[in-house]
Chains A and B, each alone.
Chain A
Amino acid sequence: MTTKRLLLSAGLALAIGAGIAGWNTAATAQAPQGQTLRYAFQGNLNTLDPYSLNETTTLALQGNAYEGLTRRDKDLSIIPGLAERWETLDNGLTWRFHLRRGIKFHGGEDFTAEDVVFSATRVRAATSDLRSRIDADVEVVAVDSHTVDFKLKRPNPILHYEWDTWYIMSKKWAEANSAVQPTAASATTPGFATLNANGTGPFRITQHQVGVRTVYQRNPAWWGKVEHNLAEIIFTPITSAPTRVAALLSGEVDVIDPVPLQDVARINASANARVMEGPELRTIFLQLDQRRDELVGSSVKGKNPFKDVRVRRAFYHAIDIEAIRRQVMRGAATPTALLISPLMYPEGGQVQRLPFDLAAANRLLDEAGYPRQGGPTGTRFEVTFDCPNDRYVNDGAICQAVTAMLARVGVKINPLFVPRAQYFAKVLATGGFNTSFYLLGWTPGSFDSWNVLHNLVRCRDDQATGGRGAFNLGGYCNQQVDALTDQILVEPDVAKRNQLIAQAYRIITDEASHIPLHQQALAWGVSKKVELVQRADNQFLFHWVVKQP
């Protein structure tokens, strides 16, 4: 016993001594090998093909191996990527990109203008899910080996906004492996690029088994400035939230995403991990069906109460957003008046939410001709409320809160909470927009208001040609807003454009086209040994990670 203790204290003293004396040597000895980062996310990385699925985490995981012409910095500002610089010519009808020289793909192929032209074709193939990255009528021309022109039919000031996730693939590699097109939905054989990646990025994927693990290794030939100290990253999906938290607490993984809100305090209280929270770009909102002449799920027959702006405003006034933030979201949400995050539209401050005001809500509903039936606590009318329960942070709980809040103004909500697969099958085009009142979240892929107005606000074309109003499930329609949307698309002057956007947001707030709720917050669980950058678009990029040994 005593010898054991003696040995132990000797060892400890030695370790401390060595630690103090040899700190620097130890660090430099460690550096060449680098650290291993273990990262767990709730979902799978289903494909390595960068054009198969337009989804944040998939693109982020691919984006550690692949790169676009542009990149987004820690604060989301656009910075050069594979292109060193770019300029617009012909009054904005031609965009010229100058490519970086001397870059090689992980497989050893040289990166040239040919690869960009090829990638532009591939991303617009019929089997690509990222066709929105470049319009079909844009002509892409290689001027010389390291210059590419994009010739537009009409000016587009936000042409390159989404190009940080339009990853450039090697033409040679794709052709050699018969991967010139993304795998089709109906394919009978899996595509090569689904399981293999060949990018130019800071890490290359050396092992990938869907739903089990994906291993990245440092690319020593990367062109950029190395800010990380990693040699290897092991990505594992962990579906079950308690297990994910347990794996972080036991030190088996270094980073988890997401952390369930109820576990935040526990992780922060632990010795080896903390929760990093930050605003996310996704906006959660409600919308009422303003299009049908009679609602599909309501006690009101022969007319649609939501066509009346007073009823919509009454619903808006009835929402106690502060209670949702505090109680349902445990503080991890930022109430908003807009359908876009203030990070992507800083001028948004000029639009205010309709205040929480039960008296106003009751008055508006009375005026609109929906009095309480049977006394001062009676019900005015009933309506069905569609809500997913596994798509957004605490979505089911938000809907319960909304149901209770509307009950206070005499509207009886019949909530219909279902898993996301059934939910989207019902409320989207395939289900015939079969909803009277629903909750949805939206992040504009382009980080720009035009995407929001085009998808969520403008009049829905029932064939939804070109996606016009495709997610305006409630069918709000105002010609003035449509005209503004078209103008915003082509207006090259930034200040003027922002004014047009503000104008559109003011109109839809007045008309209560939607009821914006909040920006949900990111919550990542991070080991205390790890420093990383949490970008608001929820992309986790490994080349900003520093891990202590």
Chain B
Amino acid sequence: MLAFILRRIIQAIGVLLTVSLIAFSLFRFVGDPVNQMVGQDTTPEQRAEIRQQLGLNDPVVVQFARFVGRAARFDFGISYQNKQSVAKLIAERFPATMELAFVSALFALLAGIPMGVYSGLRPHSWLTKLFQTVSLLGISLPTFLIGIILIFVFPVSLGLLKSFGRQGVVDLGWWTTGFLTREGWASLILPSITLGLFQMTLIMRLVRSEMMEVLRTDYIKFARARGLTNRAVHFGHALKNTMIPVITITGLQIGSIIAFAIITETVFQWPGMGLMFLQAVQSVDIPIMAAYLLLVATLFVAINLIVDLLYVAVDPRIRIAGRPA
């Protein structure tokens, strides 16, 4: 087990280096950061001087080596735009994104699994057809459109919930949370639904097809033959066996929830890392972009590792197969 984790960490370092190299070669095409840092009256000489100071005239290889050297010491420099430590900015924004991702994932699971189970068990019921329609919408509408529709239905037309921002935040010192106040929840609900709708759809469809698949297998028939209640058969035997793909998908999707939060965060002006990243791209704030990409890559690697470990815990077959003879 330890060897497995160690191997994964070494792989992770390789992934991170590759990500930063790709990111660095892309940064040359996003535009010139200096023009975004100064006002119009700044002369070309002064602009050239700033370029020089930032080391933007150095070859890409030198810039890359410098970045990796600093990143290894967790020093991501200071933002071009607002002259603050990037590590601190990300630390400030991290809780917002994580809470949003957490609530979205929770929503996707809590709504998606029951809907999937129901439509797997009663494929012809009218409620199933409704679920299918909703899921079709969830999969086909782009995130920003869902967000804007929700904003116009709830805050604008009905006067419910908040259309933007993260309000009612309580600072716990090491973490800021919106979970403790009414206002916090009022501003969290719409972005979470927007972000989680796609995942909910995915999970629902997955659970549904898995359920239908599993219910046809022999051991379910045996379970029924043993005279077990429907409830025990459906939830004790069938649902449990659909969980492996659900865990895989949820795990991988948590990564994408965090990464795709960029759009939702922009629509709702949610002060998370995604919004900060988008603004950094627009203003060519290279230190923020680089640090964010590294962080997202790290999260993906970590989530994959956890998913692999969870498999072993959930499915005894993997454990047995992996045991030395």
Binding site for B on A (CB under 8 A): 40, 44, 46-47, 49, 52-55, 126, 129-132, 183-191, 194-195, 209-213, 236-240, 242-244, 246-247, 249-250, 252, 390, 419-425, 428-431, 442-443, 445, 451, 455, 463-467, 470-471
One of B38-46, B60-68, B293-301, B303-311 at the interface: B38-46
- CB–CB B53/A185 < 8 A: yes
B83 contacts which of A190, A236, A250 (Cβ < 8 Å)? A190
B34: interface (CB < 8 Å): yes
Is the CB–CB distance between B41 and A132 below 8 Å? yes
Q: How far is the CA of A325 from the CA of B31 in the complex (A)?
A: 31
Q: Is the Cβ of A238 less than 8 Å from the Cβ of B269?
A: yes
Residues in A with CB closer than 8 Å to B137 are: none
B260 CB, min distance to chain A CBs, angstroms: 15
Interface of A (DSSP majority class): loop
CB–CB A236/B269 < 8 A: yes
Chain A proximity mask over B267-297: 1 for CB below 8 Å, otherwise 0: 1110100011011001110000000000000
Contact call A424/B35, Cβ cutoff below 8 A: yes
Q: Are A195 and B54 in contact (CB under 8 A)?
A: no
Cβ distance B160 to chain A, nearest Cβ, rounded Å? 9
Query: Would you call A422 and B30 a contact (CB within 8 A)?
Result: yes
Q: List the B residue with the shortest CB-CB distance to A236.
A: B165
Known: A188-B78, A443-B40. 11 other contacts (CB 8 A): A185-B50, A190-B78, A195-B84, A210-B82, A239-B275, A250-B155, A420-B31, A421-B33, A424-B32, A464-B45, A470-B43
Residues of chain B contacted by A132 (CB below 8 angstroms): 41-42
CB-based contact A419/B31 at 8 Å: yes
User: Which of A242, A244, A465, A467 is close to B41, meaning CB atoms less than 8 Å apart?
Assistant: A467
What does the 1/0 interface line of B45-82 toward A look like (CB < 8 Å)? 11111110111000000000000000000000110111
B32:A425 contact, CB within 8 angstroms? yes
Residues on A with beta carbons closer than 8 Å to the beta carbon of B164: 40, 236, 238, 243-244, 246-247, 252
User: Which of B45, B92, B155 makes the CB contact (< 8 A) with A252?
Assistant: B155
Question: Which 5 pairs, one residue from A and one from B, show the smallest C-beta to C-beta distance?
Answer: A54-B39, A421-B31, A425-B32, A186-B53, A467-B43
- Would you list which residues of chain B between 145 and 162 have a CB under 8 Å from chain A? 148, 151-152, 155-156, 159, 162
In contact, A421 and B35 (Cβ under 8 angstroms): yes
Residues on B with C-beta less than 8 A from A210 are: 82, 84, 89
For the A-B complex, the count of residue pairs with Cβ-Cβ distances under 8 Å equals 181
Chain A residue contacts of B268, Cβ below 8 A: 243
8 Å CB contact of B45 from A55, A129, A238, A463: A463
| Residues of chain A contacted by B45 (CB below 8 angstroms) | 463-465
Give B166's nearest chain A residue, CB to CB.
A212
Query: Is A47 a contact of B83 with CB atoms below 8 Å?
Result: yes
How far apart sit A390 and B283, CA to CA, in the bound complex (Å)?
12
User: Which single residue of chain A is at the shortest CB-CB distance from B36?
Assistant: A421
Q: Which residues of A contact B41 (CB under 8 A)?
A: 54, 130, 132, 445, 451, 455, 467
Query: Within the complex, which residue of B29, B42, B51 is in contact with A129, where a contact is CB–CB below 8 Å?
Result: B42
The answer to whether A428 and B82 have CB atoms under 8 Å apart is no
> B148 near A242 (CB under 8 angstroms)?
yes
Distance in angstroms between the alpha carbons of A243 and B48 in the assembled complex: 38
Chain A residues lying within 8 Å of B81, measured Cβ to Cβ, are 44, 46
What B residues does A46 contact at CB under 8 A? 81-83
* Contact status A463-B44, CB under 8 Å: yes
Contacts of B51 in A (CB 8 A): 430
B84 cross-chain contacts in A, Cβ below 8 A = 190, 194-195, 210
Q: Are A425 and B53 in contact (CB under 8 A)?
A: no
A250 to chain B, nearest CB (A): 4
B266 in contact (CB, < 8 A) = yes
Residues from chain A with Cβ under 8 Å of B276 in the complex: 211
Residues of B within 8 A of A421 (CB): 30-33, 35-36, 282-284
- Which residues of the other chain, B, contact A419 by a CB distance below 8 angstroms? 31, 282
Contacts of B85 in A (CB 8 A): 189-190
Contact among B54, B151, B279 for A246, CB-based, below 8 A: B151
Decide: B266 and A430 in contact? CB cutoff 8 A: no
A54 touches B38 (CB 8 A): yes
Q: Is B37 an interface residue (CB 8 A)?
A: yes
A429 near B279 with CB under 8 A, answer no
Which of chain A's residues have a CB closer than 8 A to the CB of B163? 243, 246-247, 250, 252
Q: How far is the CA of A471 from the CA of B30 in the complex (A)?
A: 21
Q: Which among A53, A129, A240 has the greatest number of chain B C-beta atoms within 10 A?
A: A240
A240 touches B266 (CB 8 A): yes
Please report the total number of B residues contacting A with Cβ < 8 Å: 60
- Cα of A473 to Cα of B282 in the assembled complex, Å: 23
Q: Which of A47, A190, A463 has the most CB of B within 10 A?
A: A190
Looking at the assembled complex, report how far the CB atom of A75 sits from the nearest CB atom of chain B, in whole angstroms: 24
Chain B residues with CB under 8 Å of A420's CB are: 31, 36, 282
Question: Contact between A129 and B39 (Cβ–Cβ < 8 Å)?
Answer: yes
**Are B82's CB and A430's CB within 8 A?**
no
- In the bound complex, what is the Cα–Cα distance between A191 and B29 (angstroms)? 30
Q: Is the CB of B92 within 8 A of A239?
A: no
CA distance A513 to B76 in the complex (A): 46
Max count, chain B CB within 10 A of own CB: residue among A131, A211, A390, A466:
A211
Which residues in A have their C-beta under 8 angstroms from that of B165?
212-213, 236, 238
* A211 adjacent to B271 (CB under 8 Å): yes
Given the complex of chains A and B, what is the CA–CA distance between A445 and B165 in angstroms?
Answer: 33
Contact between A243 and B269, CB atoms less than 8 A apart:
yes
User: What are 8 A-B residue pairs whose CB atoms fall within 8 Å in the complex?
Assistant: A53-B37, A129-B42, A186-B53, A187-B78, A191-B83, A210-B84, A246-B148, A443-B40
Residues on the A chain within 8 Å of B40, using CB: 54, 442-443, 445, 455, 471
CB distance from B41 to the nearest CB of A (A): 4
Q: Which residues of B have CB within 8 Å of A424?
A: 31-32, 35-36
Closest to A390 in B: B282
B26 to chain A, nearest CB (A): 12
In the complex, chain A residues whose CB is within 8 Å of the CB of B89: 210
How close is B186's CB to chain A, nearest CB, in angstroms?
A: 11
Query: What's the Cα separation between A210 and B276 when bound, in Å?
Result: 10
Residue among A44, A424, A425 having the largest count of chain B Cβ atoms under 10 Å: A425
Smallest beta-carbon distance A253→chain B, Å? 8
B33, closest chain A residue (CB): A421
**Separation in Å of the A415 CB from the closest CB of chain B?**
18
Select from chain B the residue with minimum beta-carbon distance to A466.
B43
In the complex, what residues of A have CB within 8 A of residue B32's CB?
421, 424-425, 428, 430-431
B7 to chain A, nearest CB (A): 36
A209 contacts across to B, CB distance below 8 A? 92, 271
CA A422 to CA B283, docked complex, whole Å: 10
Closest to B144 in A: A240
What 1/0 flags go to B245-262 for Cβ under 8 Å of A? Answer: 000000000000000000
Are the C-beta atoms of B31 and A243 separated by less than 8 Å? no
Closest Cβ of chain A to B211, distance in Å, is 39
Least distance between A339 CB and chain B CB atoms (Å): 14
Is there contact, CB below 8 Å, between A184 and B53? Answer: yes
A442 vs B31: C-alpha distance when bound (angstroms) = 20
B35 adjacent to A52 (CB under 8 Å): no
- Min C-beta distance of B170 to chain A, whole Å: 15
Chain B residues with CB under 8 A of A422: 29-31
Q: Which of B82, B267, B271 has the most CB of A within 10 A?
A: B82
- Report the minimal beta-carbon distance from B66 to chain A, rounded to whole angstroms: 12
Complex alpha-carbon distance, A431 and B278, angstroms = 24
Give the docked Cα–Cα distance between A307 and B220 (Å): 85
A250 adjacent to B156 (CB under 8 Å): yes
Of the candidates B39, B54, B275, the one whose C-beta lies within 8 Å of that of A55 is B39
Asked if A430 and B34 sit within 8 Å, CB to CB, the answer is yes
A211 and B35 contacting across the interface, CB-CB below 8 Å: no
Q: Which residues of A contact B31 (CB under 8 A)?
A: 419-425
